[in-house]
Amino acid sequence: MLQPNNPANAALLVNINGAILPRDQAGVSPFDSSVQNGDAVWEGLRLYQGRLFRLDAHLERLRRSAALLRYQGMPSDATLVSELRRTLAANGMRDRVHVRLTVSRGIKYTSGLDPRINTLGCSFFILAEHKAPVYDNASGISLITAGQRRPFANVLDQHIHSCNQLTSILAKIEANAAGADDALLLDTEGMLAETNSTHVFIVKDGVVRTSTTRACPAGITRAAVIELCRRHAQPCEVGHIPACELKQADEMFVTGTMGEITPVARLDDHAFTPFPGPVTSLIAAWYRALTTDPEQGTRLVD
């Protein structure tokens, strides 16, 4: 899956620490921690008819990630919401928009790793793009099982939603080389973790199953799917899923803000049939309805 270059984004205005600038004129200091060390946290947000879906949950996860990294001078939620509103207004955006909100440890007074040389507080960056769901949710996607593994918290805490995505990039390179859309990653014990960019669900004998978050972040879309299953009395389990059970599943789908609910057509050499699966299709319909619920979003654009 290669995202197309959308001409509508050619003249975007981006937000750098409150300054609204053309995308080609925006600059980030080489002393910023995001540049120096990949030391930044981020959230992907989606705008539906003027509302950012589950914005409060995204801001909570952003703040939790920053706290785990002991950031000082984190912008308030009110500041970030105000700047998100300004950015969307400057671009005239209302729907079919993806927003990447990033907060870094900030600017260092000299290059280096030590957080003590960051004395000016955090930096923030807001990039809003015209972007429909990035996967083909009708035809589905293909996955390969990557050689890369997701580590546990004693190696790298996956609950830090970090811009340092080296494991995901290496897994995506594997997928590209194999001609697949994305890569499925196991944890270091051979259990399902996630893909390089989404959470994974399987369906077996009518039961929806997904991994724990011991080796992946707690996804906002993932949480919504689990809630929808419980609301509609759809059996759903969270637990350890060994690799050997993945190709025995009747259905597989992935979830994320960038792509919403996407059926998986193939994992390695195994095709899932029938396709798309009936439970996947049902959950996708529930999710589409959820995104139109005014209570599920924060209105930033009239």
Residue whose C-alpha is closest to residue 123's, from 186, 42, 57, 49: 42
pLDDT (0 to 100) of residue 1 = 75
The alpha carbon of 217 is separated from its chain's Cα centroid by a whole number of angstroms, namely 9
Look up the domain containing 213 and give its range.
141-291
| Domain assignment present for 136 | no
In this prediction the pTM is 0.96
The alpha carbon of 210 is separated from its chain's Cα centroid by a whole number of angstroms, namely 16
Q: What whole-number distance in Å separates Cα of residue 4 and Cα of residue 132?
A: 11
One domain for residues 149 and 287: yes
The two tokens of residue 223 are 């949480």
Q: What whole-number distance in Å separates Cα of residue 25 and Cα of residue 152?
A: 39
| Domain assignment present for 71 | yes
Domain boundary among 71, 102, 130: 130
63: Cβ contacts below 8 Å, ≥ 6 apart: 74, 77
Residue 198 near residue 262, CB atoms below 8 Å: yes
One domain for residues 145 and 278: yes
Domain boundary among 130, 152, 167: 130
CATH of the domain at 33: 3.30.470.10
* pLDDT digits 0-9 by tens, 101-132: 999 999 999 999 999 999 999 999 999 999 99
* pLDDT digits 0-9 by tens, 33-50: 999 999 999 999 999 999
**Under-70 pLDDT residues of the chain:** none
Q: Label residue 269 exposed, middle or buried (CB < 10 Å: 0-12, 13-18, 19+).
A: exposed
One domain for residues 193 and 275: yes
One domain for residues 277 and 151: yes
One domain for residues 189 and 74: no
Identity of the amino acid at 10:
A
pLDDT (0 to 100) of residue 2 = 87
One domain for residues 180 and 78: no
Domain boundary among 98, 130, 162: 130
Q: Residues of the chain with pLDDT > 90: what percent?
A: 98
